[in-house]
Each structure stands twice: as structure tokens, then as C-alpha cells.
Amino acid sequence: MAKKKSKFLSGKRIDPTPIDKNTALADLVDESFMAYNAARIREACQLFTRKMLEPDVTIGVTLTGALTPAGLGISALVPLIKAGFIDWIISTGANLYHDTHFGIGLALHQGDAKLDDRVLREEEVVRIFDIFFDYSVLLDTDDFFRRVIEADEFQKTMSSAEFHYLCGKYVLERSKKLGIQDKSLLATCYEYGVPVYTSSPGDSSIGMNIAAKELQGSKLVLNPNLDVNETASIVLAAKRGTISHTESGKSAVFILGGGSPKNFALQTEPQIQEVLGIDEKGHDYFLQVTDARPDTGGLSGATPSEAVSWGKIDPDQLPGTVVAYVDSTVALPIITAYALARHEPRQPKRLYDRRNEFMDLLKTEYDKSTRR
């Protein structure tokens, strides 16, 4: 009698198509990324493209690590935004600061990480591993931000989304004067109405320059309370179908790295459920690219299943989660190219323009809560 085939052998048979000179990247991912971390990248590409890019899903992206100085703002993030594949962002301030170099025409170069840093210091060359740039790049970018935030529209308390939106306007204006197109994440987010938050406003050269201007009487203050509530309101609006104009919708998080931006994106659900007492179940899709281990207890390596215990991830949606243990500089270009090849552009949601509407929804539901 023939042995009954185990249900655990239902996966696709490993029999890849041989690679040749005509193999397209998306086909390479689908046919050759069969196992180990290659398989996780394949699953990441397919989750993002087949589920997260559905019309009723709102996608938040978090950025840690030095991604923009490596050119990934230009090569990947800007194309994703222009295709309508990113709806809102939480980033380290450093990524936004270094992004600005490109938008105002400053140069970064490939370098050799093995060089003596004492020699580089003498040459006034700054190094981010194997990325080199002249010290004047920092000074010129600092000067740009200090001049920008002297404008009257900055002389108030605001969320980091409003601050970055206004900065993006000025970066775009400078880019146009220089004849530069599609080189800045901030400028593109301004054009497409993508709100950009930072979880630690003081933890970057942008925040340092804001602090310096306060010594000269600037009234600019970035209020983290506004960021906490605005990001929670975006997620609530996504889940209630307000964003997609449907009976209900979904929320997805695409985490590049981990750190504070990861937590800031995921804490939106505990803010809604635990703190505000609003009925919710968690994010629907969780995609993370990281090199952090879970067993050290750090947030960067925390798994989707652990996030379920906090209410951050909908327990019914665990099959809609992927963690790829690989460098973001490797995975992001692959995921970007795959998505652009396999999915038609989406209509940009322009969430920045609807922030007041989303906050009204959050306040209305909080008014009904017994947690007040």
C-alpha cells in the first residue's frame, strides 16, 4: 500500500528554472530564491506586491540605518512613492538630513572603508562606512536648514510631519533652481502628500540645528504628542476604511531595519487599544528587513508573533507577516524592482492633506471610550 503523502510536503517542489542572460529580476526572485534568506526575500516581495499593495491597504514604511546616503532614497524610495506604494513614513532624522544633501546638489562618493580615519580627518573627509563626503557637505546642509527654519511659517509648535512637509517644499524649490529632479525623498514626499514623521526629533543634525536656532529666539518646537496621535489616527482611519473609502480597510507596516521608528509605527495600535480604549485588533501586514536577532530582547529583532502579545499585530493575520534577515541595502532594491515589475501604480493617497480628518475620527472614537 502506497504511503500517504504528508501534508508537510505540500510546498512547491524545488526545481528552479536555470538562470540565463535574459532572466528578469522578478522572475529570478520567483524561480530561484528557493530557500533560506533568499526565500524570505521572495516571500517579502510577494507579500508586499500581492497583498500590501491592494487598494484597501495603507502602507507605512520605517527607515533606520544610513539608507539615504547610500543612494536608496533616489534608487528605491522615490520610485516607490511616485508609484503610490508608500503612504506614510517614520524615519530617523539622519536619513532625512542626508537625503537633503542630494536635493540641494551636494556630492557623496564611494570610498574605501579600510582607509585610516586619522588621514581622512586631516583631509576633512567624513565617512559613513564606505561612503565619503567633504566636511563642507555637513556645513552647507546645516546652513540650509538654519536659513529655512527662520521663515515665519516655522515659528510655532508643530508635528514632525508638518515640519518635514515644509522642509520638503524648500528642498524642492532648491532642486528646481539647480535643475535636479527626483533626488530627494523629502521633496518627493512634499509633492505626493506623504507625511513623514521622526520618532526622535532631537536625535539628528536637523534637530541639533533646531536647538541651535532656539538659542537665537526661534519659536519652532516639534511636539512628539502630535506625532503619537497623528500616526495613531492614520492607522485608525486605515482600519475603519476612511482612507480607502470602503466599509473597512487594512494597515501594513514595512520596516527597514528596526529601532525607534519600528516601535513608533507599531505602537500606534497599543495607543489606539490600550491607551485610548478604542476597539481594534492590530496591523494586518508586517514586513521587516533586519539583521537583528530576537533572542537579545531588543525591539529591532522582535518577531511578529511577539508583537501580537502587545496588540500591535492582528493575531488572525500572522500568515501575513514576513521577516527577512538581510541587509536593507540588498533587500530594498530587490523588493522595489519586483513590485514595480509585478504591480501597476496605485493612486497616491495624499494622507498629509487629510490629517485633520483623521484626527477628528480619532477624537470622536476616543470620546466614546470608557478609558477617558
Segment 23-57, tens digit of pLDDT:
999 999 999 999 999 999 999 999 999 999 999 99
Name the average pLDDT for the chain.
Answer: 94
In a domain, 28, yes or no: no
275-296 mean pLDDT? 90
pLDDT of residue 279: 93
In a domain, 103, yes or no: yes
In a domain, 97, yes or no: yes
In a domain, 263, yes or no: yes
pLDDT, greater one: 281 or 320? 281
Question: Quick one: what percent of the chain has pLDDT higher than 70?
Answer: 99
Phi, psi torsion values for 288, nearest 5 degrees: -130, 140
In a domain, 7, yes or no: no
pLDDT of residue 100: 98
Residue span of the structural domain in which 79 resides: 33-367
Contact 357, 242 (CB under 8 A): yes
Tens of pLDDT, residues 293-310: 887 787 777 777 777 777
In a domain, 26, yes or no: no
| Catalytic one of 312, 349, 363, 368 | 312
Based on the residue annotation, tell me whether 239 is a catalytic residue of this protein: no
Domain count, the chain: 1
pLDDT of residue 194: 98
Contact 73, 185 (CB under 8 A): yes
In a domain, 23, yes or no: no
In a domain, 270, yes or no: yes
How many Cβ atoms from other residues are within 10 Å of residue 145's Cβ? 23
DSSP β-bridge partners for residue 221: 157
The verdict on pTM exceeding 0.85 is yes
pLDDT, greater one: 139 or 11? 139
Contact 44, 331 (CB under 8 A): yes
Q: How deeply is 20 buried, as exposed, middle or buried, from its count of CB atoms within 10 A (0-12, 13-18, 19+)?
A: exposed
Q: CATH no. for residue 209?
A: 3.40.910.10
Between CA 321 and CA 65 the distance in angstroms is 22
